[in-house]
Amino acid sequence: MANYNPRNFLILAVDDNSINRILLEKLLKKEGYKISILSTSEDVMPYLVKMTPDLILLDLMMPNINGLELCERIKLNPNFQEIPVIFITASDEKQDLLKAFDLGAVDYITKPFHNQELLARIKNHLELKFTRDELKKALVELEKLAKTDDLTGISNRRHFISLAEREFNLARRQKRSFSLLILDIDYFKKINDTYGHPVGDLVIQFVAQQCVLCIRKEDLCARWGGEEFIIFLSETNLEDAVLVANRIRTNIYNEIIDIDSYKISLTVSIGVSVYKSDDTSVSQAISRSDMALYQAKNSGRNRVVDQDGILYEDKG
């Protein structure tokens, strides 16, 4: 691990022997580690609720709750499972050591230990933990990137389709309802041609924000492509979906966007559809929203049109 710095790590040492505690504290502090020392097993779980060490040094033989039982308790808690546990033991009983590994310990060292050996083992397991943690963070970020539209930060088309298909199957099984909105920024090409693509990108971000503000947490807004957006409204009938669509349209219509020295007015057109019990795939509802959007565009823009071709054009 590049630039390994002991000061970045907190180690918890648990030992009922006062001399061992003093030796461990002196050694680890001298090396630069942050260190917490506990003398009893009973204090460990309450400590972990308040603090999360990067590594635990655990005496195997302790009164009341021995090291093996304590390790088992630690590893049974999902919040603590990833903390490496190294046993320090005077016992060379193989069964105890095998049991320790079975319970989730990563290593052991026998007493009396050699200082440099203990420090090397600690460093090795902290580097492994750091690498695992960084890999997990990278995987989370990759998963987020795979689901998210780079420009707007909302879901992308692929993620939307995946979730919409799942919700569609739930709706069919549980006889639930949902609605879909597809909206398009009116005259967006003119905005790009007049103000440039960087301003066009800011306009797309603004519309995405307005869409998110107008829906519930359980709903999903995604960038469908270019200047188009799609919204999944769970447990929503057509009438209520039209109300949401008009709220989005009205909010955008009433806003003036200040970008640099420009003041830009926008409108959007929106097509609305609702799940039908004879739909065999979510793509059918999407197609109805798309056709309704086409009608909204052709009827003058700044409109909401539902799947039955009913036009809502209040300029509100």
Q: Which two tokens stand for residue 206?
A: 């603004």
261 vs 89: CA distance, rounded Å: 72
Instruction: Tell me, letter by letter, the H, E, C secondary structure of the chain.
Output: CCCCCHHHCEEEEECCCHHHHHHHHHHHHHHCCEEEEECCHHHHHHHHHHCCCCEEEEECCCCCCCHHHHHHHHHHCCCCCCCCEEEEECCCCHHHHHHHHHCCCCEEEECCCCHHHHHHHHHHHHHHHHHHHHHHHHHHHHHHHHHECCCCCCECHHHHHHHHHHHHHHHHHHCCCEEEEEEEECCHHHHHHHHCHHHHHHHHHHHHHHHHHCCCCCCEEEEEECCEEEEEEECCCHHHHHHHHHHHHHHHHHCEEEECCEEEECCEEEEEEECCCCCCCHHHHHHHHHHHHHHHHHCCCCCEEECCCCEECCCC
197 vs 274: CA distance, rounded Å: 34
Question: Rounded to 5 degrees, what are φ and ψ at 219?
Answer: -90, 170
Q: How many CB atoms lie within 10 A of CB 32?
A: 12
CB contact at 8 A, 155 and 88 = no
Active-site residues, by number, are 227
